[in-house]
Structure 1
Amino acid sequence: MGPIVALHPPPSVFNYQRFMKKDVTTPLVVNFQLLKGHVNQEEAMAPDPSIVLDSVKHERVYMTEKTTRIPVREGRLRGTLFIPEGEGPFPGVIDLFGTNGGLLEYRSAQFAARGIASLTLAYFAFEDLPKEMKENDLSYFEEGIDYLLSHPKVKKNGVVVVGVSKGGDIACSMGAFLPKVKGVVSINSLAVNAMCPLKYKDMIIPELPFHAEKVKFLGPNVISSYEMSSDSEDFPEAHIPMHKSDAEFLFICAKEDGNWKTIPQIFQVIKYDGAGHLIEPGYAPFSFATYHKTVPGGALFWGGNAKDHSVAQVDSWKKILEFIKRILV
């Protein structure tokens, strides 16, 4: 077999989200090495210098030099606001992630690099927020919208909410109940309320039940949660009434999502063959399984294959940007 390329860190085990929690001002550095002959994964991780034919480092910058990064600690809000270079006003986005909790900034930083003001919000497992997600209060996210729209460089004609996984169904709920939300991008998320109850004023939407006993072990340290969710058709009370909303909805769905059954049959849906659950902005590393705090000492299976997933990330990122700018012209 001819020469192979070793990628450090290897894409199959690299936790992109966990890395980017640290500091979006720090570039992501990937070292490509061209190795002589056929080697196994252990040898490729720390190759003998004699078999390294060539190497190059690739640096990716997420936050541009003139982007303004503003830590948000207003009342109960915990997040980070990114304002693009220039006078504005800029379209505004609320950015949400899923069940790993914490505060992830890399996607918002990339929105700002493309002329979109973006507020990424933590809603549990960060600083003084609840350590576990036992209930979500939609008024918290409404406060985030008001904070974003109050900035003098943000357009006042509403916001688009972008959410992945659990963040996607929160985004759908925001689109259904909050009139300042003009568009929703839901990435590999259920079209129902999942994981915990959602409340807004006097209303409560119960969660779609999950069954831990249906977890599947794909290997000694990798699990799949794909079969854990109940059939949403059996729980209409958990459905989010998106049909009552004036917002536009865009669903980005991976047809090989190994984590959730996330192909809705309503609204605008873009389906990607061969893509897994973690559809990130274009050119992010592919990971079929990564660390997740709900799997101590193991990894959660996301599905997909490297080629098709990478193509889906590039294409969906372009469509997301087009959607945001069309909605908030």
Structure 2
Amino acid sequence: MFQLTATPASALVDEPVHIRVTGLPPLQMVTLMASVKDEKGNLYQSRAFYRASKDGELDLKQAPALGGHYVGVHPMGLFWSLKPEKAFERLIKKDVMNSPFWITLDLYDSVYLQKSGEVQPRASQVVQRWFSSPEVRRVQVQEGRVRGALFLPPGEGPFPGLIDLFGGIGGLVEHRASLLAARGFAVLALAYFAYADLPKQLQEVDLEYFEEAANLLLAHPKIQKPGIGVISVSKGAEIGLAMACYLKEVAATVCINGCNAIFEFPLRYRDLVITPIPSFPERMEFNNMGALCLRHYKGNPRDALNQHSVLPVEKAQGPILFIIGEDDQCINSKEYAEQALDQLRRHGRSSGRMLLYPGAGHLIELPYWPLCYASWSRGLAFPLVWGGEPVGHAAAQEHAWGEIQKFFRQHLVPSRSTL
């Protein structure tokens, strides 16, 4: 009697799942498949081929995959190797509070290459992957100009407060904020274009909007004083770095694959206007999938003519953690982080640190999340290449998630007056 178990059957998405099979014939070749549908009904699947032990058992903590979407011992490989059935789709969770992703695990007693459902699997299990805990509270934010969603952990607090910024995807992206709230942070997922009554397209970055959001967060009675953290990726990381440089409310900043200078749109803050470094559309390249690579598209912040656009990282009051995918195919994020660290050192500052991940691409997400190598992007006629290779990217996501939480717990400490 074949038995497939996956424990825990219901858990937060950053928790590993232990997959085991028992009751197999000795040394039986089997296929394990995972499948999930997103909220639009798009299908994502993965499969791997394994050989049972002499005792007719299979434990993914110990057994190597012999082929399929990955090879070797990877206990969570079926999760992070999920691939979209439709090219260039990106797996994203919108409703983070009310429903999980339901991932179906199927066992076949052969090397199974047909589509899911064409043959009845010998055993199946469904696991629920949640993006928040039931005790977390989500509060819609529409105050002054600020638009977003605030996620509050259970209890009285005060909690370390974070602002969470995504990039060119626009809209309101909540899955990282909701999960961080389940881990004890109060997080404002902040929209800044293409949401509600905000501008439909990003034409300039008004830093006073982000300052308003920071002050709104700090004014909340459950938010720890005196400063907040910022977690940010891509265009959001460019804005996050600017917040670290100019806003006194920001005490610690995580920049995931961002820039050290202003690109594409001007940045305004009070009387200051920073014009963007020119870009070179003629340097864009198509890969063999027909997706667009922007890695060489931007001008170089080291050029003398571009110095006016470089962010003054030496003015940042708190520490900055740069999380960098070495295979980022969207921007030259490693070079930008190195430039920022050089600038800090020249000013006698040691407040910057870089975590460099070989094989990781641009979209470093939650642990065990599928690599999105290329996907459609807002306002573009072609999909964009983000980069990354599955094993290295998965390792980066798992390690970085722990480092991000440690960084904020270390540097967002209460003021003496509240101790």
TM-score per shorter chain, which class? Answer: over 0.9
Q: Does 1:148 align with 2:233?
A: no
Alignment of 1:244-255 (within 5 A): 244-255=315-326
Q: Does 1:197 align with 2:266?
A: yes
Report if aligned partners of 2:264, 2:277 keep a CA contact under 8 Å in 1.
Answer: yes
- Residue in structure 2 matched with residue 5 of structure 1 by the alignment: 32
Could you say what secondary structure the match of 2:254 adopts? strand
- Residue in structure 2 matched with residue 94 of structure 1 by the alignment: 163
Note the C-alpha offset of 1:295: 3.3
- Residue in structure 2 matched with residue 309 of structure 1 by the alignment: 393
- Residue in structure 2 matched with residue 243 of structure 1 by the alignment: 314
CA distance in 1, matches of 2:296, 2:171: 26
Could you say what secondary structure the match of 1:19 adopts? coil
Alignment of 1:127-138 (within 5 A): 127-138=196-207
CA distance in 2, matches of 1:49, 1:299: 34
Q: Which moved further from structure 2: 287-296 or 124-133?
A: 287-296
Q: Which moved further from structure 2: 201-210 or 134-143?
A: 201-210
Instruction: Decide which of 291, 304, 315 is 2:376's aligned counterpart.
Output: 291
- Residue in structure 1 matched with residue 92 of structure 2 by the alignment: 19
Q: Which moved further from structure 2: 4-13 or 178-187?
A: 4-13
Alignment of 1:35-114 (within 5 A): 35=108, 37-38=110-111, 43-44=114-115, 46-50=116-120, 52-114=121-183
Aligned residues: 324
CA distance in 2, matches of 1:24, 1:291: 26
* TM, length-normalised to structure 1: 0.92
- 1:42-68 per-residue CA deviation (whole Å, 9 max, x = no partner) reads x44x44124x34332221111211111
- 1:207-245 per-residue CA deviation (whole Å, 9 max, x = no partner) reads 222223322211354222112111221221211101122
- Residue in structure 2 matched with residue 279 of structure 1 by the alignment: 364
- CA distance change for structure 1 residues 117 and 326 in 2, over 3 Å: closer, same or farther? same
Report if aligned partners of 1:12, 1:288 keep a CA contact under 8 Å in 2.
Answer: no
- 1:245-290 per-residue CA deviation (whole Å, 9 max, x = no partner) reads 2211000000011111001211200000111111112122222122
Q: Does 1:168 align with 2:237?
A: yes
* TM, length-normalised to structure 2: 0.73
Instruction: Decide which of 333, 336, 341 is 1:262's aligned counterpart.
Output: 333
Q: Does 1:115 align with 2:200?
A: no
- Residue in structure 2 matched with residue 215 of structure 1 by the alignment: 284
- CA distance change for structure 1 residues 240 and 70 in 2, over 3 Å: closer, same or farther? same
- CA distance change for structure 1 residues 304 and 35 in 2, over 3 Å: closer, same or farther? farther
Report if aligned partners of 2:90, 2:372 keep a CA contact under 8 Å in 1.
Answer: no
Q: Does 1:30 align with 2:103?
A: yes
Note the C-alpha offset of 1:18: 5.8
CA distance in 2, matches of 1:144, 1:107: 18
Question: Which of 1 and 2 has greater Rg?
Answer: 2
RMSD across aligned C-alpha pairs, in angstroms?
Answer: 2.0
Report if aligned partners of 2:158, 2:223 keep a CA contact under 8 Å in 1.
Answer: yes
- CA distance change for structure 1 residues 226 and 127 in 2, over 3 Å: closer, same or farther? same
CA distance in 2, matches of 1:37, 1:290: 33
CA distance in 2, matches of 1:287, 1:85: 32
CA distance in 2, matches of 1:47, 1:190: 45
Report if aligned partners of 2:90, 2:375 keep a CA contact under 8 Å in 1.
Answer: no
Could you say what secondary structure the match of 2:106 adopts? strand
Report if aligned partners of 1:208, 1:230 keep a CA contact under 8 Å in 2.
Answer: yes
Report if aligned partners of 2:96, 2:132 keep a CA contact under 8 Å in 1.
Answer: no
CA distance in 2, matches of 1:300, 1:35: 35
| Structure 2, unpaired ranges of 5+ | 1-27, 36-43, 46-81, 342-351, 414-419
CA distance in 1, matches of 2:119, 2:311: 57
Could you say what secondary structure the match of 2:34 adopts? strand
- Residue in structure 1 matched with residue 19 of structure 2 by the alignment: none
CA distance in 2, matches of 1:167, 1:154: 22
CA distance in 1, matches of 2:287, 2:29: 31
- CA distance change for structure 1 residues 70 and 215 in 2, over 3 Å: closer, same or farther? same
Could you say what secondary structure the match of 2:401 adopts? helix
Q: Percent identity?
A: 34
Could you say what secondary structure the match of 1:157 adopts? coil
Note the C-alpha offset of 1:29: 2.0
| Structure 1, unpaired ranges of 5+ | none
